[in-house]
Amino acid sequence: MSDLSHIRNFCIIAHIDHGKSTLADRILQLTGAVEERKMKEQLLDDMDLERERGITIKAHPVSMNYKAKDGKTYQFNLIDTPGHVDFSYEVSRSLQACEGAILVVDAAQGVEAQTVSNTYLAEEQNLAIFPVLNKIELPNAQPEVVAQQIEDLLAIEASDCLTVSAKTGQGIAEVLEAVVARIPPPKPGVDSSARGLVFDSKYDAFRGVVVYLRLFSGSLKPGEKVRMMGSEMDYEIKEVGIFAPDPTPVKELKEGSVGYVIANIKDASEIQIGDTMTSARHPAATPLPGFKEIHPMVFAGIYPIETSDYEKLGKSLDKLKLNDAAFTYQAESSVALGFGFRCGFLGLLHMEIVQERLRREFDLDIIASYPNVIYRVNLKSGETLEVDNPTMLPDVMQVQSMEEPFIKATIITPTDCLGDMMQLIMEKRGEITHTDSIDAQRVMLTCDLPLNEVLIDFYDRLKSISRGYASMDYEYADYRESDLVKMDILIHSEPVDAFSAIVHRSKAVYRGRQMCASLKDVIPRQAFSVAIQAALGGKIIARETIRAYRKDVTAKCYGGDISRKRKLLERQKEGKKKMKSIGKVNIPQEAFIAVLKTKQE
């Protein structure tokens, strides 16, 4: 058995913008893991998108050595995690690879929605948690008040809190000593056979799949044969290494450490996040407990603008899925947009990031359809269907009832915005279950909301009402029966599949008018007038008309009898009538793109 007392595996968890990545920068600096000349802000956020938006999207592992005051040298394996609700799955995966967590709380902002949910995630994994109050250099910082909030809301002793300033570096040395003292070393493995938990992976164009894992027992060396216990496929290890913070090859990965393995894994689909890697010669008897299966909440179609890019899009999605286990996709086709893929995401930010990564990393021109959730349709025959696309909805006569997914949301808001916040929740068909007062300035609301209503502009409205001070976290609750209807858009009396939507009856008229108005602006005028209508079944609920082009047929008549002009105009009228009865309206691709944009705005 190897001595594990010198290893500490921990991660940093917090709400968005509370200073996780800056604290990670200071820890890297203080332990000397990065040379001063290579140091830059948010060093671990290596994706362009992360640096631009100032948010962490992926969890980033890093190993370093720290010489403590007791004279011993410890190996720290740190994982910096995202703070946004859409990436909480990244957090839960990282927690499985650790024994402890540093909970960072902004000393000026106090406890926020994600602080609460990430603490619960860490407690579920039985991790040692110690709170760190960051940004104490700010003039409006209130460390004593925030420490009391942590005790009241999270049941963590206020006296356990450390105060630091990740920006200036004040108090960071105490944090490192606390990591040694408060976070337990890894437990030794049950036996000597190698067992490693795959918590992430990425695709390298030259070396195939790079697997990130935490080794719970045994060791792994280059040249050894390993087996993935989920797929039962064997591979040969080419290289093992640690992140320091750049990938650095080592002779062997030992028990208790976090690192990467490069084997001859060519295909992205062969690796499952949460799988166990073991030795092929002496395989472990049982795999490690994986992660609970994550189910996407939001669905949208992604189509290539150039039809010839379809194959490339499929391969790119395959590589992206490897690096993002919460993302799912399957092939589909649409009359308007051709062949594409139906993709599942955890939320709107997740959807936006995936689309942006496809554009940048894989150089693709894509268009996404309107985001939808999965509805449950109970038929009169007793069957239940799951529908995420309005075109799949069965005939109204066969439907008994429809259910939609609800979420349980926690919203922390300033007290003076409480009235407006309640108004917003009511407008989105939500119901407030209870309210808790955090301190004199802030209230925590717990409410049930239909996921469909939260999709589009809820988060933006929440931020604008509270002038940016409110925060929100949510988790999936259950399905509930609702009065849902399918709204069709008819153009020149022909229904267009791509514009159909499933909406709540109370919102149908408003949405119908909105869509007709935006279509009127983008469909080109024809030689005959075109009606754009929104319909529920056979009932028209909104209409706009695109006026016809009119050629000046009387231009050649100079003077003469008025009856000549009348005759020409009558003939034009007859022609238009005939055209209207047989004419077809071709909707340009730009119209679909424009309407999808207006819907999302």
* pLDDT tens digit sequence for 125-147: 788 888 888 888 888 888 888 88
The pLDDT value recorded for residue 325 is 64
Q: Which pLDDT score, from 0 to 100, does residue 60 have?
A: 64
* Amino acid 46: pLDDT: 45
Q: Give the Cα separation of 454 and 238 in Å (integer).
A: 47
User: Does the annotation flag 22 for ligand binding?
Assistant: yes
Residue 60: which H helix or E strand, with range?
strand 60-67
SS3 category, 7: strand
- 276 belongs to an annotated ligand binding site: no
* Residue length of the chain: 601
What is the pLDDT at residue 581?
Answer: 56
Q: DSSP secondary-structure letter at 212?
A: E
Q: Is 18 annotated as a binding residue?
A: yes
The pLDDT value recorded for residue 191 is 72
Question: How would residue 166 be classed by pLDDT, with cut points 50, 70 and 90?
Answer: confident
Q: Is the pLDDT of residue 600 over 50?
A: no
Question: Per the annotation, does 20 bind a ligand?
Answer: yes
Q: 3-state SS of the chain: helix, strand, coil percent to 5?
A: 30, 35, 35
Q: How far is CA 142 from CA 105, 147, 163, in A?
A: 11, 9, 11
Contacts with 420 (C-beta within 8 Å, 6 or more apart), sequence order:
465
What is the average per-residue pLDDT within 516-535?
77
Both tokens assigned to 130: 């110690």
Model confidence at 45, in pLDDT bands (50, 70, 90)?
Answer: very low
C-alpha distance from residue 203 to each of 200, 210, 310, 576 (Å): 11, 6, 20, 59
Instruction: Answer with the residue of higher pLDDT: 335 or 255.
Output: 255
pLDDT at 51: 45
Q: Which residues pair with 237 in a beta bridge?
A: 263
| pLDDT for 413 beyond 60 | yes
Q: What pLDDT score does 33 carry?
A: 63
Predicted confidence (pLDDT) per residue in 84-107, tens digit: 555 555 566 667 778 888 888 888
Domains of the chain are 7-182 (3.40.50.300), 195-279 (2.40.30.10), 298-368 (3.30.70.870), 376-482 (3.30.70.240), 487-600 (3.30.70.2570)
278 is in an annotated binding site: no
User: How far is it, in rounded angstroms, from Cα 103 to Cα 328?
Assistant: 30
Is there a contact between 70 and 181 (Cβ–Cβ < 8 Å)? no
Does residue 65 surpass a pLDDT of 60?
Answer: yes
Structure tokens at 204: 């390298």
Q: Annotated binding residue at 435?
A: no
In this structure, are residues 563 and 521 in contact, taking their beta carbons and an 8 Å threshold? Answer: no
Rounded Cα distance between 14 and 16, Å, is 7
- Calculate mean pLDDT across residues 376-382: 83
The pLDDT value recorded for residue 2 is: 55
Specify the 3-state DSSP secondary structure of 331. Answer: strand
Does position 465 have pLDDT exceeding 70, yes or no? yes
The SS3 of residue 249 is strand
Structure tokens at 423: 């108004």
For residue 398, name the pLDDT band (cuts at 50, 70, 90). Answer: confident
**Distance of CA 503 to CAs 373, 452, 488, 494, 499, Å?**
11, 9, 10, 20, 12
Share of the chain above pLDDT 90, in %: 0
- Model confidence at 294, in pLDDT bands (50, 70, 90)? low
pLDDT in tens, 301-319: 888 877 777 888 888 887 7
- In angstroms, the Cα distances linking 65 to 34, 76, 104, 412 are 11, 6, 22, 39
pLDDT at 86: 54
d(CA 485, CA 537): 9
**For the chain, what is the radius of gyration of the CA atoms?**
29
- Tens of pLDDT, residues 241-269: 887 767 788 888 888 788 888 888 776 66
d(CA 238, CA 234): 13
Average pLDDT, the chain: 76
Q: 464 and 444 in contact (C-beta within 8 Å)?
A: no
pLDDT at site 167: 79
